[in-house]
Amino acid sequence: MMNYVFTRHNNGVYVLRVEDTDMERSTGESERRILEDLLWLGIEWDEGPDKDGGYGPYRQSERTALYNKYADALIRQGAAYLCYCTPEELEQRRKERIAKGEPAAYDGRCRKLSRQEKARFEQEGRKPVIRFRVDADTISYTDAVKGEITFPDRQIGDFVIVRANGMPMYNFSCAIDDHLMQISHVIRGDDHVSNTPRQILLYQALGWDIPVFMHIPMILGQDGARLSKRHGATSVAQYRDQGFLPETMTNFLSLLAWSPAGDREIFTIEDVINEFDPGRVSHSAAVFNTEKLRWMNGMYIRSLSEDRLAAAAFPYFKARGYPVSGTGDIRAITASLQQRAETLADMALEAEFFFADTVQPHGEEEEAVMNLESSPLVLREFAREVRQQEQWDGGVFVSVVKSVSKATGVKGKNLWMPVRIALTGSSHGPELGAVIEIFGKEKCARFAEKAAAV
């Protein structure tokens, strides 16, 4: 999100690159979902797998020949070398160094292997990785958010740039692609701070300019731990499935890492782009507050026109199996629920009584009301009055309730609440005037009679 906002604010070119060199985790399906999520959020790219801007291909898995070319160049100049150490050997030596109080980084054992040693390892069937040789005393850079950052070389060690299967590591492929694709700014989470010195060393070894790095805060759960599945949904698709609007998500996500001037919290993506100021990017981790997200989504739902709301909610009504064929079937229903709902999925769930043949009291509070001695009397009189009406709308409903009160002597909560629970099953919900119009006269009378007979 921050990359998109920053690029549009500065009238730059937004490049979508698919970093899919991890063959176990990267699939065509995962790529498709990511692209769908971005488009749903309204984030469109200027260059990418489907929009060649002259710097493709844009999938790293299709650029291995380029990575091999630069890996070979680094080996020739002595900046990289083949490493035949097995995972077991690496782990054992790592433990030994830690036990001695030494840095856990690789010890450079394969830096100066002879031809005979390489041949012996290859005869053993060992597949080498390619490591970059780190000789710098310290690596420093100025982060556009965090300021000056320095890493001692012994903390980094000689790092792998190409796996034994020939696929490049993240730091190597990204450094090459950032240069070849003329990327000016690298904006990413601050969990990548430790990757940056490795990439800077690669830029320097290859004689390339270093882009501007901006590391923005990580997102934490409300317990202060890094956001994960145990905190709930973690992907855009999951929030879409739960009934959050794209406008809500772009607004909420933008404010996790950036704070505008003033107390305003509701922003369109265009507002964020226009008002964006890198100096107001947060320096501390952001907390993903689900309650605030739901509040914000409710605000957006209430701002929608009745037609837009019905269109947005329709897939959620279909998913629950309601007999609806178009938005016209739910327009009045969604309008009646608009002031209460926080998500579209919640709205569809709450709408169940509109499609039911009968309802039951939802809980102890509702059952207590229906067990009052006066409730059956009120409901029978209500049903009788309803069936006598020629017209049926909110105004007529109010007159009917007044007549019921006069006939039964019941007033206040004990008058209105049994009717609400008989129709909806709940003591809370949309305005009864809207409910009875959607139900129609016959259904209102029938539900009241059923509830009175229980």
131 DSSP β-pair partners: 81, 160
CA distance 387 to 65: 80
CA distance 57 to 175: 15
Active site residue 229: yes
Residue 30's SS3 state is helix
CA distance 99 to 285: 33
> How many CA atoms within 13 Å lie on the side-chain side of 94?
12
Q: Which residue has the tokens 């080996």?
A: 75
CA distance 164 to 449: 76
Task: Verify cis geometry, omega within 30 degrees of 0, for the bond prior to 376.
Answer: no
Q: In the numeric block, which tokens belong to residue 38?
A: 């971005």
| Candidates 229, 318, 406, 413; catalytic one | 229
- Pair 379, 388: CB distance under 8 Å: no
Cα four-point dihedral sign 75, 79, 83, 87: negative
Q: Which helix (H) or strand (E) holds 436?
A: helix 432-439
Cα four-point dihedral sign 320, 331, 237, 292: negative
Residue 56: burial class (beta carbons within 10 Å; 0-12, 13-18, 19+): middle
139 DSSP β-pair partners: 151
User: Cα–Cα distances in Å, from 404 out to 379, 392, 423, 430, 454?
Assistant: 9, 16, 16, 21, 20
Widest Cα–Cα separation across the chain? 107
- Pair 61, 26: CB distance under 8 Å: yes
Nearest Cα to 346, choosing from 230, 262, 429? 429
Q: Which helix (H) or strand (E) holds 151?
A: strand 147-152
CA distance 80 to 83: 9
CA distance 145 to 149: 11
* Positions marked active-site: 229
